[in-house]
């Protein structure tokens, strides 16, 4: 046996798995703000919560993360990256291309937490269901606040873009979805207008710079997606009767607006109540198709 064969492995050999503090930085850079419990469920759902709390406090001592205490929450902490943490994570491979999102104070964090934490709640429901089913979906397969141009200097910003691989026997289905989370803070009409924005994205064709004659390179969304993602509306924070009315208004827009009707012929559109998703799982028949029909799983819209 050669000397080289008997030497112990270098202690600096990279591990195939990211260390937990790195995963926490990744998760906060990706999700913007998350509570201790949410981070625990995202990155280490099978271990004690203290396993996540200790490295979070260490990262805070290093000046990379900080937290805001949520009101009326038994001092629940909502964690976020500091400016230094955002700078450090900006060029990490899994986050390359994502704009930095530093939050400069606990006050600034508190203004963003209600909506942002609800978006994270929505992701947790999909992530837990994927683990239960054995599908492929990680905490980095959910990208909040994704912006796309729709022409005339305007853009549509999705609350999240989800990537999900459905495993069924030997079949692998790669699914994508734009996710819109509605906390009932805007009018029902303004919510339904989001459908028009996505319909414009579906048809928008960017013109190459410097061309004298209009030329088409195909729909602009093909730069990012092989198939236009399905569109999922997740509603919460109101009575069931009010949420049902908001879903009816979405269905009316899908039936009456010509651009949205054209979108609905090609793209699955559905809406569900967040509490139903959390209780039964998103692959249960809790999604109402915006084109009508019986509730079904989001994978079968």
The per-residue pLDDT of the chain, averaged, comes to 87
pLDDT in the model for residue 45: 87
Average pLDDT over residues 84-107: 72
Contact assessment for residue 33 and residue 120, using Cβ atoms and an 8 Å cutoff: yes
> How sure is the predictor about 101, in pLDDT bands with cuts at 50, 70 and 90?
low
Cα angle 126-131-134, degrees, rounded to a multiple of 5: 115
pLDDT in the model for residue 86: 85
Average pLDDT over residues 92-120: 74
DSSP 170: T
pLDDT of 232 higher than 70: yes
Could you tell me how far CA 218 lies from the centroid of its own chain?
26
Choose among 155, 147, 254: nearest CA to 195: 254
Q: Distance (Å, rounded) from C-alpha 246 to C-alpha 252?
A: 10
> How sure is the predictor about 251, in pLDDT bands with cuts at 50, 70 and 90?
very high
3-class DSSP state of 281: coil
Residue that has been written with the tokens 């902490």 in this structure: 77
Crossing angle of helices 36-43 and 50-61, in 10° steps, is 110
Q: Distance (Å, rounded) from C-alpha 24 to C-alpha 28?
A: 6
Mind listing the pLDDT tens digit for each residue in 173-196? 999 999 999 999 999 999 999 999
CA distances (Å), 113 to each of 37, 59, 80, 118, in order?
14, 20, 10, 8
The alpha helices in 44-105, defined as continuous H runs, are: 50-61, 83-89
Choose among 143, 138, 136: nearest CA to 165: 136
pLDDT in the model for residue 9: 37
| Strands of the 65-69 sheet, one edge to the other | 33-35, 77-81, 65-69
Residue that has been written with the tokens 């607006």 in this structure: 257
Listed range (15-19, 26-30, 107-111) with the worst mean pLDDT: 15-19
pLDDT in the model for residue 161: 96
Cα angle 81-186-80, degrees, rounded to a multiple of 5: 5
Listed range (6-15, 81-90, 192-201) with the worst mean pLDDT: 6-15
pLDDT of 209 higher than 80: no
Of the two residues 199 and 206, the one the predictor is more confident about is 199
3-class DSSP state of 134: coil
pLDDT in the model for residue 15: 46
The pairing of beta strand 230-235 with beta strand 171-182 = parallel
pLDDT of 62 higher than 70: yes
| pTM for the model | 0.89
pLDDT of 234 higher than 70: yes
pLDDT of 79 higher than 80: yes
Q: Which range has the top average pLDDT, 104-113, 166-175, 203-212?
A: 166-175
The percent of residues in the chain predicted with pLDDT above 90, rounded, is 64
> How sure is the predictor about 100, in pLDDT bands with cuts at 50, 70 and 90?
low
């Amino acid at each position: 046996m050669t000397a080289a064969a008997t030497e112990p492995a270098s202690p600096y050999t990279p591990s195939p798995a990211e260390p937990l503090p790195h995963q926490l930085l990744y998760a906060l850079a990706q999700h913007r703000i998350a509570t201790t419990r949410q981070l625990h469920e995202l990155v280490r759902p099978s271990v004690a919560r203290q396993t996540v709390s200790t490295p979070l406090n260490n990262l805070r001592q290093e000046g990379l993360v900080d937290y805001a205490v949520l009101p009326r929450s038994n001092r629940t902490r909502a964690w976020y990256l500091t400016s230094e943490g955002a700078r450090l994570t900006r060029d990490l491979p899994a986050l390359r291309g994502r704009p930095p999102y530093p939050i400069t104070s606990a006050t600034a964090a508190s203004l963003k937490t209600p909506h942002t934490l609800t978006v994270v709640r929505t992701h947790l429901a999909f992530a837990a269901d994927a683990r239960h089913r054995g599908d492929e979906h990680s905490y980095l397969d959910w990208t909040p606040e994704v912006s796309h141009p729709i022409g005339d200097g305007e853009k549509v910003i999705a609350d999240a873009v989800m990537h999900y691989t459905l495993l069924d026997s030997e079949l692998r289905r790669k699914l994508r979805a734009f996710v819109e989370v509605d906390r009932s803070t805007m009018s029902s009409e303004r919510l339904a207008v989001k459908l028009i924005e996505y319909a414009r994205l579906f048809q928008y064709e960017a013109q190459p710079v410097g061309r004298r004659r209009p030329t088409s390179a195909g729909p602009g969304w093909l730069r990012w997606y092989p198939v236009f993602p399905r569109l999922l509306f997740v509603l919460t924070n109101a009575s069931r009767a009010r949420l049902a009315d908001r879903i009816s208004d979405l269905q009316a827009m899908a039936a009456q607006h010509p651009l949205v009707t054209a979108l609905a012929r090609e793209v699955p559109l559905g809406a569900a109540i967040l509490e139903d998703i959390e209780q039964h799982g998103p692959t249960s028949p809790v999604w109402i198709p915006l084109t009508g029909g019986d509730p079904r799983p989001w994978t079968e819209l």
